Amino acid sequence: MKFIEWLLLAIIAGLSVSAVANPASSFASSTALRYVPLGDSYTRGKGVPQEDTWPMLLTRHLQAEGIDIELSVNPAQNGATLKKVLDEQVPILLKKRATLVTVLIGVNDWVRGTGSRRFTQRLKRLLSTLLDFLPARERLLLITLPDFSCSPLGKTFGYGKSAPNGLTRFNNIIKRQAQEKGLWVVDLFPLSREICQDPGMFTQDELHPSRKQYVEWEKLIYPIMRKMLSAEKVSEEP
């Protein structure tokens, strides 16, 4: 009977079109970290299976190292902006009662011409909302924006130096907010520029990261995530 009830719940959960849940989350313990990554296509994993996205690779790596964690849901959306994260993804995060969050958002804000002031205002609002909800600052990890302009397709957009300069400006805002609020941050921008000359780092659209590139992202994100979680444990000790 319990198996039938679980099966029905799994089927209902699978009908959701707003987010992708981790199939293994049903088996996670009640004490597991409930991880929810916020973002756009970089986090959603456009063009790759969900198991090959960096949030899933990160979750599996942490699990393999003995961390009790589940990827509760991936609400990231292709083309998302900070406003969409606030309006559509945060409610999902709150409903899932997330206890661990990563934020990688802003490329589409820049592409659509969002100014630095508005970007800063929305980022502050997002971080304040998350910090009010999460149990500790060490449960929120910020990630800077990669440089899409050096990808095979990105070079054809004609942005020239404006893209890396604009993304760097937004990344400086992200870093400044992280510093002001005492948050951990992963700087993805330099790595994205180092590996963009390898065509194998991109999917068939020649713009979005392939599994090969996500593996490199996870290698950068994982140790900082571990340090962040360890720092929280130290701060909890008497």
The whole-model pTM stands at 0.85
DSSP H helical ranges for 134-236: 162-181, 189-195, 211-236
Residue 223 lies in domain: 19-236
The yes-or-no verdict on residue 115 having pLDDT over 60 is yes
Q: Is residue 140 part of a domain?
A: yes
Max intra-chain CA distance, the chain:
62
Q: Is residue 7 part of a domain?
A: no
Name, in order, each residue with C-beta under 8 angstroms of 115's C-beta and a sequence gap of 6 or more.
Answer: none
Residue 126 in contact with residue 132, Cβ under 8 Å?
no
Q: Is residue 5 part of a domain?
A: no
Q: How many domains does the chain have?
A: 1
pLDDT of the residue at 122:
98
**Residue 146: count of CB within 10 angstroms of its CB:** 24
Specify the DSSP class assigned to residue 74.
B
Q: Is residue 1 part of a domain?
A: no
The strand pair at 100-104 and 69-71 is best described as unpaired
pLDDT of the residue at 152:
86
CATH number at residue 116: 3.40.50.1110
Structure tokens at 109: 């804000």
Q: Is residue 91 part of a domain?
A: yes
Q: Is residue 125 part of a domain?
A: yes
Q: Is residue 8 part of a domain?
A: no
| Among 121, 87, 89, CA closest to 104 | 89
Decide: helix, strand or coil at residue 198.
Answer: coil
Q: Is residue 10 part of a domain?
A: no
Phi-psi region of 218 (alpha: psi -120 to 50; beta: other; left: phi over 0): alpha
| pLDDT tens string 122-163 | 999 999 999 999 999 999 999 999 999 989 888 777 566 689
Decide: helix, strand or coil at residue 66.
Answer: coil
User: With bands split at pLDDT 50, 70 and 90, how would you rate the model's confidence at 193?
Assistant: very high
